[in-house]
């Protein structure tokens, strides 16, 4: 899965991110579903509008784009949310120990 920065052996925030990722689709409301990124619809519309001999190649390229986009979202989640929270907690704990 994701390469998380090791913080300590009892990393509650990491467990919460993993849990949130696993249950994301289960708890989506109708409003969430309306605004969710519908990659399959875009992919199908693009593939319908190109010549048949190019569909396999373009389909593979679209899959690469989608995979890269998902990896980028995981990276952003890790970098800005989890690591930022961990850094903030370590700063607070470091200040309170002195």
Sequence spans of domains, the chain: 37-97
Residue of 81, 44, 85, 94 whose CA lies nearest to 66: 44
In this prediction, residue 68 carries a pLDDT of 85
Tokens of 51: 């010549």
- From residue 29, how far is each of 6, 21, 25 by CA, in Å? 33, 16, 9
Compute CA distances 75 → 5, 48, 72, 80, whole Å. 12, 32, 5, 8
| Predicted pLDDT at 93 | 79
Q: What pTM value is reported for the model?
A: 0.50
- For 76, other C-beta atoms within 10 Å of its C-beta total 10
| Angle subtended at Cα 69 by Cα 61 and Cα 29, rounded to the nearest 5 degrees | 120
- The alpha carbon of 1 is separated from its chain's Cα centroid by a whole number of angstroms, namely 11
| pLDDT at residue 87, as a whole number | 74
Q: What is the pLDDT of residues 20-76, one digit of tens each?
A: 666 666 777 777 777 666 778 888 888 999 999 999 999 999 989 888 888 887 777
Res 95: pLDDT: 80
Give the pLDDT score at 1. 44
Which of residues 43 and 8 earns the better pLDDT score?
43
Residue 6 pLDDT exceeds 70: no
């Amino acid at each position: 899965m994701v390469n998380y920065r090791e913080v300590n052996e009892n990393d509650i925030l990491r467990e919460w991110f993993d849990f949130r990722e696993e249950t994301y689709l289960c708890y989506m409301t109708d409003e969430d579903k309306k605004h969710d990124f519908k990659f399959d619809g875009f992919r199908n519309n693009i593939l319908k509008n190109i010549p048949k001999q190019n569909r396999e190649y373009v389909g593979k390229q679209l899959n690469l784009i989608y995979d890269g986009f998902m990896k980028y979202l995981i990276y952003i989640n890790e970098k800005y949310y989890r690591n930022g929270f961990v850094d903030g907690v370590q700063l607070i704990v470091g200040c309170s120990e002195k």
